[in-house]
Structure 1
Amino acid sequence: MHFDFDAKVAGPVLHGPALEAPEFDAPELTPLTKPLAEASVGLIVTSGAYYPEQMRLGERNDLSYRLLSRHRELTDILFAHKTPIRQFGLADPNVAYPRDTMVDLEQAGVFAHYAENAVSMVGSISRYEELATETAPRIVDEFAGMDVDLVLVVPFCPQCHNAAGVLARALERRGLPTTSLTTLYRHAMAVKPPRATFLDFPLGCPCGRPGRPEQQREIVRAALETVAAQGVDEPWQLHRLPFQWDEDGSRDWEQLVVDLYRVDDQIRGTVRGNLGAHGENLSSINGNEKEFAIRCAC
């Protein structure tokens, strides 16, 4: 079971078509050369996290990124991504930009080092070829300068799952091992980001429930340990993490997500416009995924 964004939000709330996703073949993996406990781990978030003195990220098709220092507390963090589910991150930034979680896991010895900077983008991107051929190499260089061995990619909104998946595949093909922590099942199954795990939680909460730091640490730790054990020759699969939003297994949270999309007319209009624009750009990939993957090395 998983949340059906198309049936519950895209049609009845946004009055638009289903969000398309390119159907890629399984990715080629770059070997993780160290045990997780000895590895340096980097982080990419697509929630548009940034600090007040940094230039705000654009709402759509912004291929730039911001570097977020591991030493900077979350008290001043802002989110540029105009999506209704940003409310979860506003309540607790760690669900969308898990800075505290990563520092805690480093201190617990789950991995050796959390990178000096995280990479933050607004994942509402459908300029996929530029993302893979221009942005991805720059990000590889950023993490190479930090001696990163593995990058955790955290997609945020529905469109982020497409863009973050393409980006993760492009990083992997350029020699940087990645893993993605996803909350949108159908799109992850289509794009097939390397070493992916699936968390059956609300969109906007890829790293756990707001206000539950212990659960957040358990989720991110489980995601990293699950994929670190995966060999490069194993068939691609979407690893499902065994966590529940409510202890009794209730799925009342699905209506909460629907209500967030329904309540704000201005942001809902922005989302609807983004979906339309991204759908037009996807038409150049759909049906040509193999050619695109070869051309863009993803």
Structure 2
Amino acid sequence: MEIIENLSTYSSRISRWNGDERLAGYPFVENVNAPFTPVRRALPMLNLALVSTAGACIDGTEPFDVSSRGEARFDEIPIEVEAADLRYAASGYDPTAVKQDRNAQVPVDRLAEYEANSVIGKLNSVWWSTSSFIPNAQTVAEELAPKLSERLARYEVNAALIIPASRLCHQTAGLIARRIEADGIPTIVISVDKLMSERVRPPRTAYYEGDFGTVVGPADWPEFQRRVLDETLRNMETFDQPGIRKLAVDIESKVEAARGER
């Protein structure tokens, strides 16, 4: 399965792009098919990997390059690292929320709760962070995604939750998901940009009408974050083919707004 279909066409298009950091005229990837690996274990038996494209790094380490060329690398961050020790190289999204509450984009604390309550078997001992700005999708497909997939396999994870932060991040996350899935590990991407998910076609997508920078939910609103994660993970088990599913959290939020609730 090709991670980028019609790669030669994409290569030609990206070579002509002017490098505008606002992505004006940017040639987004467009795929038709998607790889698919069935989930073979129930959630309470999974070693779950978390992959974030929010550009997080440990304070004191080299931040991601979010210049016009971007940087196709990833960091492995132990789950014991505290939120206060993380820094974010943000591009394409406002990092205010994730700096206030990392769970808005990097739900380590929420998933640790799930492990403690046996919703999932285990949150993997490290999580993976990539740059929030990697405009050359070919480097994601040919360099970043294969290396990242190899690391997940070494940790013997059973599934991967992948969370983008911006529009371009949705492309990066989708390509990473395609490679990991092609290598035999089930994935699911949380999306707030349905058009991008339809273009890139990650194997499984859980979509709702949220915002860049708070894809898991608003800062300091753990109940909402749990709704998004709970529905996403439970959906992962029930996909029998590639696709996009809309989360009911969308409807619940509109009802709350109509009632004047948070």
1:122 and 2:128 aligned: no
Q: Sort the Cα spacing of 1:124 and 1:38 in 2 relative to 1 into closer, same or farther, 3 A.
A: same
Deviation digits for residues 107-160 of structure 1 (CA, Å, limit 9, x no counterpart): 121110000111101131122222112222211221122210000110111111
Equivalent in the alignment of 1:237: 243
| Unpaired segments ≥5 residues, structure 2 | 1-20
Paired with 1:238 and 1:249, the residues of 2 have a C-alpha distance of 27
Aligned to 1:104, the other structure's residue is in SS state helix
Q: Sort the Cα spacing of 1:158 and 1:15 in 2 relative to 1 into closer, same or farther, 3 A.
A: closer
Bigger mean CA deviation after superposition, 19-28 or 50-59:
19-28
Paired with 2:57 and 2:148, the residues of 1 have a C-alpha distance of 17
Paired amino acid for 1:68: I
The alignment yields a C-alpha RMSD, in angstroms, of 2.0
Of 153, 157, 163 in structure 2, the residue corresponding to residue 144 of structure 1 is 153
1:54 and 2:65 aligned: no
| Distance apart, 1:20 and its partner CA | 4.8
How many correspondences in the alignment?
Answer: 234
Deviation digits for residues 40-97 of structure 1 (CA, Å, limit 9, x no counterpart): 1001101111111221111142111111111122122211123442122122111111
1:69 and 2:75 aligned: no
CA contact (8 A) 1:123 1:164 kept: no
Q: Sort the Cα spacing of 1:16 and 1:129 in 2 relative to 1 into closer, same or farther, 3 A.
A: closer
| Distance apart, 1:191 and its partner CA | 1.1
Bigger mean CA deviation after superposition, 184-193 or 20-29:
20-29
Of 100, 103, 107 in structure 2, the residue corresponding to residue 98 of structure 1 is 107
Paired with 1:15 and 1:93, the residues of 2 have a C-alpha distance of 25
Paired with 2:170 and 2:213, the residues of 1 have a C-alpha distance of 11
Bigger mean CA deviation after superposition, 38-47 or 122-131:
122-131
Equivalent in the alignment of 2:44: 37
| Distance apart, 1:99 and its partner CA | 0.9
Q: Sort the Cα spacing of 1:15 and 1:147 in 2 relative to 1 into closer, same or farther, 3 A.
A: closer
Aligned to 1:219, the other structure's residue is in SS state helix
Paired amino acid for 1:32: V
CA contact (8 A) 1:200 1:243 kept: no
Q: Sort the Cα spacing of 1:16 and 1:225 in 2 relative to 1 into closer, same or farther, 3 A.
A: closer
Paired amino acid for 2:46: A
Deviation digits for residues 15-37 of structure 1 (CA, Å, limit 9, x no counterpart): 97476532211312022221122
Paired with 2:22 and 2:124, the residues of 1 have a C-alpha distance of 42
Aligned to 2:128, the other structure's residue is in SS state strand
Structure with greater strand share of residues = 2
Paired with 2:203 and 2:127, the residues of 1 have a C-alpha distance of 19
